Chain A
């Protein structure tokens, strides 16, 4: 067992870091303040394959392994969690389900444009009455002779305001008269589709999270992803992959907060010595570093399991659960170390603190992750 990243992964990290440090970092604070999605940065990211991270080359992607994918999201989120969110959601729950469950025709139709970054992906499951309980979805799909008609409202859709290709979770009545969930691919220019107001959220403010409306939105039958009634399976598979991305995102936020804290602790003088000379601060830094390291190993293990074709659902949930709680703890301590300045928008740790919280909520709350982990433990024969 070797805990050192191989040369390829080191080079992936340096490649992403070089770009984000020079092209994104100078704009992050303003993007957050103005809640602005930076299209001009997206244009620069497109040719570097950020929008087709694990997409096979025949569809124009970079064909990265999952560890490289996690490193990319971690490094991106270390500078801009909002863009890290955009990229991970697009790749993991936007493109991946099409690659995994789509027909060859659907892959050819949707994936190349998405991999280029010309159409940003979104995945919508959450509704006013359905969150952790995916069974509560009310958006429905009625099958006609040549199409499906979708009706319903989705909320808190990441990338909602800028998406071009949307995977929609909807229910329809099966032959057994019971409701079954299915997933439909909707292009943004379909009549009956519209974008609601951008949500005014605590963090991730540069990502246009919004509601999406489907009013008699007609999609051809060729836009059904997988089979009718396969929705829950597609959703759970997509979320397993998505959780590796969100874990990596939380890790990036924690890493950024930690680095700020170390440099501030060395600079800031109180009682005629730097903060770093106080044992309390040293304890904080030691706890932060230990939890970040443990988080990183959990993310890479989940990613490595996926690359080896092994089951990785529980591993992804553990990584997501632990990384998000690490992000919350580490950013909280980072604000504490920075004192009054940490509570001010003058310092980045205030943004890290706001951005961290949602990593415990979306892509399955921490409580849902524990359900997944417990199910995996208890389903094994004892």
Chain B
């Protein structure tokens, strides 16, 4: 039976993102949380392996106390254990320290793991760095952007879509895989699952001390990444309204924008100008 660790993250719900229009930043304290879509797919991949050949699934996340919600959700979906890594000293970690903390947890608590699954990238920061960095910290091989996993006894066969072809790779275990957003459509959660998850609501909570991090460890200060600016992209399109009789407007449209429209259509409109239909 495979020992699988799935790294999941709570991200702000896309449909309810409260943006501060003046500063262009996200008001995180107002945002409803949800399980990041790519990590939910990583969990789905683990659940399918569990259903097909049996596995023990540990879902782990790092975040504030409210992130427990996605651990309950993971348990409701079928994860065996939920672990929350939380500490004021771990808040503000960049991807580098996040990978470091996750690796510490795995090394201390799940030494005999076979497979680590992550989403390819999270919907809130899109760096795609934590998975590969975590593999590096654990000194294990990794495959990114995987869409299909076939687990064997001591290895996995992973398929991914690259440009216009599929690539199939074999990897010895232990190893790490990040799951692509296009794969493993997550199942809906049955209401019975939610009720059951809260009947046995045990979530393991682990702080910096339990992870053996130095007393001086402070993620916010120690993170090498510095965010210089966060802003919403703005479009610079100029809108023009052509007014007047239809024929005049159409002529004007083609005179002024014929080239642009023609190139978008892949036609030289001038040569078609007098075609009779």
A interface, CB within 8 angstroms of B: 7-8, 10-12, 14-16, 18-19, 21, 23, 44, 47-50, 53, 57, 61-65, 68, 72
Q: Which of chain B's residues have a CB closer than 8 A to the CB of A64?
A: 191, 195
Q: Which of chain B's residues have a CB closer than 8 A to the CB of A63?
A: 192, 195
Shortest B50–chain A CB gap in Å is 18
B34 at the interface (CB under 8 A from A): yes
Which of B32, B73, B76, B194 gathers the greatest number of chain A CB atoms within 10 Å?
A: B194
Which of B32, B188, B191 makes the CB contact (< 8 A) with A12?
B191
Shortest A32–chain B CB gap in Å is 23
Which of A11, A23, A72 makes the CB contact (< 8 A) with B69?
A11
Q: Which of chain A's residues have a CB closer than 8 A to the CB of B15?
A: 21
B189 at the interface (CB under 8 A from A): yes
Q: Which of chain B's residues have a CB closer than 8 A to the CB of A14?
A: 32, 34
Which of B34, B68, B188, B195 makes the CB contact (< 8 A) with A62?
B195
Q: What are 21 contact pairs spanning A and B, CB under 8 A?
A: A7-B72, A8-B72, A8-B195, A8-B198, A11-B72, A14-B32, A15-B188, A15-B189, A15-B191, A18-B188, A18-B189, A48-B189, A49-B192, A53-B191, A57-B192, A62-B190, A62-B195, A64-B191, A65-B195, A68-B194, A72-B191
B34 and A11 within 8 A (CB): no
Which of B32, B68, B72, B190 makes the CB contact (< 8 A) with A49?
B190
Shortest B188–chain A CB gap in Å is 5
Chain A, residue nearest B69 (CB)? A7
How many angstroms from the CA of A53 to the CA of B107 in the assembled complex? 42
B interface, CB within 8 angstroms of A: 15, 32, 34, 68-69, 72-73, 76, 188-192, 194-195, 198
B191 and A68 within 8 A (CB): yes
Contact A12 B190, CB 8 Å, known A7-B68, A7-B69, A7-B72: no
Shortest A277–chain B CB gap in Å is 15
A48 and B190 within 8 A (CB): yes
How many angstroms from the CA of A63 to the CA of B189 in the assembled complex? 15
The total of Cβ contacts below 8 Å across the A-B interface reads: 55
Where chain B touches its partner, the secondary structure class is helix
Chain B, residue nearest A15 (CB)? B189
Closest 4 CB pairs of A and B: A62-B192, A49-B191, A62-B191, A8-B198
A11 and B73 within 8 A (CB): yes
Chain A, residue nearest B192 (CB)? A62
Chain B, residue nearest A7 (CB)? B69
Shortest B15–chain A CB gap in Å is 8
Q: Which of chain B's residues have a CB closer than 8 A to the CB of A19?
A: 188
Shortest A175–chain B CB gap in Å is 45
B190 and A47 within 8 A (CB): yes
12 further contact pairs, Cβ within 8 A, besides A11-B194, A48-B189 = A7-B69, A11-B72, A12-B191, A12-B194, A15-B194, A16-B191, A19-B188, A44-B188, A50-B191, A53-B191, A62-B190, A68-B194
Shortest B72–chain A CB gap in Å is 6
How many angstroms from the CA of A44 to the CA of B188 in the assembled complex? 10
Q: Which of chain B's residues have a CB closer than 8 A to the CB of A53?
A: 191
Q: Which of chain B's residues have a CB closer than 8 A to the CB of A15?
A: 73, 188-189, 191, 194
Q: Which of chain B's residues have a CB closer than 8 A to the CB of A8?
A: 72, 194-195, 198
Chain B, residue nearest A49 (CB)? B191
Shortest B48–chain A CB gap in Å is 16
How many angstroms from the CA of A50 to the CA of B194 in the assembled complex? 13
Chain B, residue nearest A18 (CB)? B188
Chain B, residue nearest A23 (CB)? B188
Shortest B219–chain A CB gap in Å is 25
Chain B, residue nearest A50 (CB)? B191
Q: Which of chain A's residues have a CB closer than 8 A to the CB of B188?
A: 15, 18-19, 23, 44, 48
Q: Which of chain A's residues have a CB closer than 8 A to the CB of B72?
A: 7-8, 11
How many angstroms from the CA of A68 to the CA of B196 in the assembled complex? 13
Q: Which of chain A's residues have a CB closer than 8 A to the CB of B191?
A: 12, 15-16, 48-50, 53, 62, 64, 68, 72
